Amino acid sequence: DFVAIGTAVGVAVAFGAPIGGMLFTVEEGASFHSTTMLWRGFLATCMGVLTTHWLFQLSFSTSAVDFFHAKFGTHREFGLYTDDQANYSRQYFWYFWEVPIFACMGCLGGLMGALFVNTNVRIT
C-alpha cells in the first residue's frame, strides 16, 4: 500500500492533480482495490499537491520573509489564461493563518447541508 500511495503522490505532485494521481495508481499500480488505501492515498495526494502549491507560492512572494506573512493566491493559472489577464491576485489573496477559518467555514457548511438533508428526509 505504501508503494502505491507513494506513486500516487508522485504522479499527483508532478501534474498537480490529486484525483488523477490516485486513479492512475488504483488502475495501474495497486495489486487489489482497497477502500482504505483509496482514502489514505487521496489524503496523501491532496497534502502533496497543497504543499507543492504553497512552496511554489512562497517563491513568488518576495516581500514576505516568513511563511505566515506570505500572500498566497498571488500567482494563478487557470488553464487557458494566466492571472496576467484576469488580475485576480491584486484583490483576492489569502494568508496562511486564514486556513483554519476556511476549514471551520467548510465544516459549518457541511453540517448545515447534513441538517438540511436530514430535515428534508423527515418532511417528505
Output 1 or 37, whichever has higher pLDDT: 37
Query: Which of 11-20, 24-33, 115-124 tops mean pLDDT?
Result: 115-124
DSSP the chain: -HHHHHHHHHHHHHHT-HHHHHHHIIIII-SS--HHHHHHHHHHHHHHHHHHHHHHHHHH--S-SSGGGPPBSSS-B-SSSBHHHH--TTT--B-GGGHHHHHHHHHHHHHHHHHHHHHHHHH-
Contact 88, 76 (CB under 8 A): yes
Residue 81 pLDDT greater than 90, yes or no: no
Contact 45, 8 (CB under 8 A): yes
Residue 74 pLDDT greater than 80, yes or no: no
Output 79 or 92, whichever has higher pLDDT: 92
